[in-house]
Chain A
């Protein structure tokens, strides 16, 4: 069945404001048009509309047809001590959240029903600029509302595990609201793992709100099925002295586009947006960032390191915008990639858009092969070429993983990524 977002019945279609919001999303998606080679923001990462239209939306309640054999029936196992939450084929599978005081987690539908989601939904970005976030809004239903209450300092990370295993070309539409209230401190990990052999599309929007002096560490590992696509927008607003540390690790799949849009709204707001990608076959990774410095004394740092081998394609689009009044800001961005084959491709598009005159900004982009002297030195110590290359590639990606401040998460990725 061809996808038709207008005729899909979703929960809460009888709630007027929600129905209206979905309608606005549909209109914005239509207005933008299907991204193609002429769409600046998508020219390196667009894909065939027919493949999109062949997707199926499963709007039935969560139901797993594995007769209790798949691990969505088990209590969420986390790779390190953490509070586990699980999504199974795009739907929340966790019933008992088991979280400490000061943290509230609700399925999004509950927060829509109660109305508390209304205050945050679509408040951090403009749908006219983000077509898949507009689509996400048109289909809004699955996801979480996560609130770290005022002053709460969470002892363990919240680990959200998304497992895509249904043998169907589904469109999974996830919308999360993550709110760190004043002075709160928390770490949220999202792990997307796909084992299906169907070209599903994971379409994620996280809206993140960081209040005064709050800190959120947000780590994401996109490890979708090889044939799948993953498109995500992380839209973040940071208030006075708030801190956002983001890291995305991108494994290989047909298309993995991770876009981060950040507004540093008030003095002292700061963000780190780091990441790593590793492609060796014919997949595609796109890391797109847009960091907007909207007040004075706001800082941002970005380091993305990647590897493209085989006939893979990697994209890095990084933008730093500094508003006219945003004096005394620091904005740094670096992208370093290893291009290991003649067929692989890397497209890098750094942009600085600076309207203030007293700021420090820099960007750097490098792209090259492994160092022949280093490889020879290792061979001269008995290490064969294949192993020497792996050691150097790992050193390259590990350097980016070194930016992750939570040691448990860092060690997990150092070992598994």
Chain B
């Protein structure tokens, strides 16, 4: 082997190593930096109260609840819509052009940046449908945003339901809807669950789409009252505290909570994936 080739191989190897290490180091740095700076700021009072101007304390309970409300509301709508669209594509659609159109639309949706979702959500849900700046408007905006995700994962798992199951059910005399309800849908649960986990992760991290649709308020509300009123999620609260109020301690505490949640969601997604894989292979 010539020196030139040896040098090339050595150089490329070193470069690959360096880049892979750099990627890992970046993740480790961000994770550790946020956790180290954030965890000391997490206290029971922070987690269990709302901000008070009288005592000058900051609490993020309203933001936690708002995040929960928005996740619940968005999932409640995105699961039937996304899974339904996937069922239509996989089970009903015969017209190739309709299929291509829907798939193209889904691809387009997943490429649109969240700030544009925020603007259109503000124009359509808040102004045109007169919902004002509310959690519900924010949740509906996120529904459109997450539709392609849930649709894609459901579609993938629908493809793994064996054709013979459907044929068997049809052969027993079941109608199309009955086959879908009793054979197809139970078979694609793993796709729906995976889609939901991905969607939760995305909703948890979303901020630009919520700034103008769900707003900044920190009021403590119940679920249905909360849906109708404006409220900041954890990410929006982080942005407001860091950028507009200079409360970096609180911002890092929220950041640490978000990092832990992200970690948990990733672990859950991996565990659920492994569980379904194991169940399928049985």
B partners with A = no
Residues of A within 8 A of B (CB): none
B residues neighboring A (CB under 8 Å) = none
